[in-house]
């Protein structure tokens, strides 16, 4: 993947990130951190950094993106790749930021899970 400038500059306030196994609920994480989580989107792919992992995904490599909200995790977006064992989650401070990211990903053809679709309809 080329290291082009992001196609969308996000001024997001991320609360943290977590890494969990896909077949378990997102809150059952393998690791969690609040230091330097990141989410960057490009024309063809995104970069995400949670815990000790930096990962790049082409949009078509994602099985879906899910949304959850709660006191501890904030407004969380979970990125679920088609291959591999892990789910990558970032927690955002603002719901408006979550909506903007979900709309962008939807335009890129990333499938949105039921909770994410429901959140967009609110």
Average pLDDT, the chain: 85
Q: Is residue 5 part of a domain?
A: no
Count: domains in the chain: 1
Q: Is residue 4 part of a domain?
A: no
The residue with greater pLDDT, 40 or 13, is 40
The residue with greater pLDDT, 12 or 103, is 103
User: What pLDDT shows up at residue 6?
Assistant: 54
Q: Is residue 9 part of a domain?
A: no
pTM for the whole thing? 0.86
User: What pLDDT shows up at residue 87?
Assistant: 92
- Residue count (the chain): 122
Task: Indicate whether 58 pLDDT > 80.
Answer: yes
Half-sphere exposure of 119 (CA within 13 A, CB side): 23
């Amino acid at each position: 993947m080329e290291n082009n400038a992001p196609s969308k500059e996000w001024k997001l306030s991320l609360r943290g990130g977590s890494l969990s196994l896909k077949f378990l609920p997102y809150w059952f994480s393998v690791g969690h951190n609040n230091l330097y989580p990141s989410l960057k989107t490009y024309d063809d792919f995104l970069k995400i950094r949670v815990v000790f992992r930096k990962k790049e995904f082409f949009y078509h490599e994602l099985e879906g993106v899910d949304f959850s909200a709660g006191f501890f995790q904030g407004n969380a977006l979970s990125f679920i790749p088609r291959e591999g064992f892990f789910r990558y989650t970032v927690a955002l401070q603002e719901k408006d930021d979550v909506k903007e990211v979900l709309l962008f990903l939807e335009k890129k053809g990333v499938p949105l899970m039921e909770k994410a679709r429901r959140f967009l309809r609110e």
